[in-house]
């Protein structure tokens, strides 16, 4: 029997979380390479611990960027807001172990006779969209991101100096007949100043939770948990080591949809772990925006060195208004799903990645310089006309 009501929970972590510090550093270095050379190849991993950052990975691009890695790291950490004794942008140690890309990998990825690049690795990637929010995203992850993003904005502007950079949120929603109907619980844990009491932390955080709620929604006071373990002064990499790519569910759909085999941050768009995940979200979002389904899950699969996906899978989870096989065929005809085709379609060869490192890669507004271009719904009208459906899309 189909379950008609349930609770579903998603979490987010702030830009000051140790793993997100690593994502930000890796994507900052990627942006620096792409700014100098749109065809640069970058696979950059970061590790952080107490007052230490190690960078490792493979690159192919301008040598002068390698000389700026330490300053890029310090500026990223400074922008996040770390000036504490155990992790300070001025005093932390930076070890750079970036090296040249493997010739074997380069041979498989570079352009062939047909002007196409092969995929940088084998793998599976997923994209998802649903119509339960205006952003065509699952509601729990959007609300979790919103709480932390507004907290960070207030902290960095000086409006809320009691809060520190490291924080987590978690939102549990009630669903009835497949639609979110209210909030069951909210959890927020945040780093704070040494002289800030538990009562002051609650006073500082509560307005951001209430501001994030949809109009007309409430949550009982006894279901709001703020710093439930108490004191949280030591945070960030001083409190816990961080690594690039450990928050992949936070990056995507909060557990409401599958995630592929790879993380995103620090990878240039020839790496289909990243670019094909963006492409599959783009396709799924346009299917829902076109009114062809209430939910859409798309899987792409690639083989290393091969341009075309070896498989495309479309699942509208029982909400589709058109045949899924026909829909998949049409999407492949409308969008060239090779690494080069995706990169050109979505404008991915630009320094647009540091901004994706926190608060989600999806559900964000497309930006004038090409950032979050995979969130456009410019295919929706064409899809609706093709299948004779009504498009309900807005750029």
With a cut of 50, say whether residue 113 has pLDDT above it: no
Give one DSSP letter per residue of 79-139, joined into a string: HHT-EETTEETTT-EEEEEEEEPPHHHHHHHS--TTS-PPBSS-EEEEEEEETTSTTSS-H
Domain-located, residue 115: no
Domain-located, residue 255: no
Can 168 be counted among the known catalytic residues?
Answer: yes
Tokens 């899924």 -> residue: 324
Can 146 be counted among the known catalytic residues?
Answer: no
pLDDT in tens, 202-252: 999 999 999 999 999 999 999 999 999 888 999 999 999 999 999 999 999
Can 367 be counted among the known catalytic residues?
Answer: no
> If you average pLDDT over residues 365-385, what whole number do you get?
97
Supply the CATH number for residue 368's domain.
Answer: 3.30.300.10
Can 126 be counted among the known catalytic residues?
Answer: no
127 and 191 part of one domain: no
pLDDT in tens, 130-165: 999 999 999 999 999 999 999 999 999 999 999 999
The average confidence (pLDDT) of the chain is 93
What pLDDT, on a 0 to 100 scale, did the predictor assign at position 117? 83
What residue numbers bound the domain in which 171 lies?
Answer: 5-14+139-235
Domain-located, residue 257: no
Give the pLDDT band (50/70/90) at residue 391: very low
**Binding site annotation covers 8?**
no
> If you average pLDDT over residues 369-381, what whole number do you get?
97
Domain-located, residue 240: no
CB 65 within 8 A of CB 36: yes
382 and 275 part of one domain: yes
Catalytic residue chosen out of the listed positions 20, 41, 285, 361: 20
Q: Cβ neighbours of residue 321 under 8 Å, at least 6 residues apart?
A: 291, 292, 293, 387, 389
69 and 210 part of one domain: no
Domain-located, residue 114: no
Catalytic residue chosen out of the listed positions 271, 340, 343, 376: 271
**Binding site annotation covers 240?**
yes
Catalytic residue chosen out of the listed positions 149, 192, 267, 376: 267
| Residue that terminates a domain, selected from 214, 235, 256 | 235
Q: pTM to 2 decimals?
A: 0.94
> Which residue has better confidence, 154 or 116?
154
301 and 361 part of one domain: yes
Instruction: Find how far residue 66's CA is from the centre of its chain.
Output: 26
**Binding site annotation covers 114?**
no
9 and 66 part of one domain: no
Q: Cβ neighbours of residue 96 under 8 Å, at least 6 residues apart?
A: 55, 66, 69, 70
What pLDDT, on a 0 to 100 scale, did the predictor assign at position 107? 54
With a cut of 60, say whether residue 184 has pLDDT above it: yes
10 and 150 part of one domain: yes
Domain-located, residue 85: yes
216 and 291 part of one domain: no
Can 232 be counted among the known catalytic residues?
Answer: yes
79 and 33 part of one domain: yes
75 and 159 part of one domain: no
Catalytic residue chosen out of the listed positions 246, 285, 340, 343: 246
Catalytic residue chosen out of the listed positions 160, 240, 381, 392: 240
Domain-located, residue 263: no
Domain-located, residue 266: no
Q: Cβ neighbours of residue 295 under 8 Å, at least 6 residues apart?
A: 128, 129, 130, 131, 288, 316, 317, 319
> If you average pLDDT over residues 246-264, what whole number do you get?
95
> If you average pLDDT over residues 242-264, what whole number do you get?
96
Helix (H, G, I), strand (E, B) or coil at 314: strand
Task: Quote the CA–CA distance of 375 and 145 in Å, as a whole number.
Answer: 17
Planar angle of CA 121, 123, 129, nearest 5 degrees: 130
Q: How many domains does the chain have?
A: 3
Can 104 be counted among the known catalytic residues?
Answer: no
316 and 343 part of one domain: yes
With a cut of 50, say whether residue 395 has pLDDT above it: no
Q: Which two tokens stand for residue 40?
A: 């640069």
Long-range Cβ pairs for the range 191-195 (8 Å, 24+): 191/16, 191/163, 191/164, 191/165, 191/166, 191/167, 191/232, 191/233, 191/234, 191/235, 191/236, 192/162, 192/163, 192/164, 192/227, 192/232, 192/233, 193/161, 193/162, 193/164, 193/233, 194/233
**Binding site annotation covers 271?**
yes
Where does residue 240 rank: exposed (0-12), middle (13-18), buried (19+ CB within 10 A)?
Answer: middle
286 and 364 part of one domain: yes
68 and 145 part of one domain: no
> If you average pLDDT over residues 58-63, what whole number do you get?
94
What pLDDT, on a 0 to 100 scale, did the predictor assign at position 314? 98
pLDDT in tens, 288-316: 999 999 999 999 999 988 999 999 999 99
What pLDDT, on a 0 to 100 scale, did the predictor assign at position 120? 77
CB 294 within 8 A of CB 319: yes
Q: How many residues does the chain have?
A: 395
Can 247 be counted among the known catalytic residues?
Answer: yes
What pLDDT, on a 0 to 100 scale, did the predictor assign at position 68? 96
Can 45 be counted among the known catalytic residues?
Answer: yes
**Binding site annotation covers 208?**
no
Can 246 be counted among the known catalytic residues?
Answer: yes
């Amino acid at each position: 029997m189909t379950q008609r009501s349930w609770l579903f929970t998603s979490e987010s972590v702030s830009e000051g979380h140790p793993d997100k510090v690593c994502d930000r550093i890796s994507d900052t270095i990627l942006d620096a390479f792409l700014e100098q050379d749109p065809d640069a190849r970058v696979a950059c991993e970061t590790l952080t611990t107490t007052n230490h950052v190690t960078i490792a990975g493979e690159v192919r691009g301008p040598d002068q960027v390698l000389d700026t890695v330490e300053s890029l790291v310090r500026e990223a950490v400074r922008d996040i807001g770390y000036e504490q004794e155990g992790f300070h942008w001025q005093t932390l140690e930076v070890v750079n172990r970036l090296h040249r890309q493997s010739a074997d990998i380069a041979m498989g990825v570079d352009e062939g006779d047909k002007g196409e690049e092969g995929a940088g690795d084998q793998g599976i990637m997923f994209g998802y969209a649903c119509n339960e929010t205006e952003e065509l995203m699952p509601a729990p992850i959007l609300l979790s991101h919103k709480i932390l993003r507004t907290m960070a904005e207030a902290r960095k502007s000086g409006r809320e100096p009691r809060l520190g950079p490291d924080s987590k949120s978690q939102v549990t929603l009630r669903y009835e007949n497949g639609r979110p109907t209210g909030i069951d619980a909210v959890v927020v844990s945040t780093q704070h100043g040494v002289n800030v009491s538990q009562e002051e932390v609650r006073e500082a955080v509560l307005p951001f939770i209430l501001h994030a709620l949809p109009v007309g929604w409430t949550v009982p006071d006894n279901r709001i948990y703020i710093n439930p373990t108490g004191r949280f002064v030591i945070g960030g990499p001083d409190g816990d080591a961080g690594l690039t790519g450990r928050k992949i569910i936070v990056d995507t759909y909060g557990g409401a949809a599958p995630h592929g085999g790879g993380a995103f941050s620090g990878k240039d768009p020839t790496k289909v772990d990243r670019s094909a995940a963006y492409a599959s979200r783009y396709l799924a979002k346009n299917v829902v925006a076109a009114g062809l389904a209430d939910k859409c899950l798309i899987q792409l699969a690639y083989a290393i060195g091969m341009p075309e996906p070896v498989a495309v899978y479309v699942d509208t989870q029982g909400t589709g208004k058109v045949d899924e096989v026909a829909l998949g065929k049409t999407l492949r005809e409308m969008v060239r799903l090779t690494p080069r085709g995706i990169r050109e379609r979505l404008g991915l060869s630009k320094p647009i990645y540091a901004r994706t490192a926190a608060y989600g890669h999806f559900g964000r507004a497309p930006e004038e310089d090409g950032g979050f271009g995979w969130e456009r719904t410019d295919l929706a009208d064409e899809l609706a006309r093709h299948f004779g459906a009504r498009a309900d899309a807005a750029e």
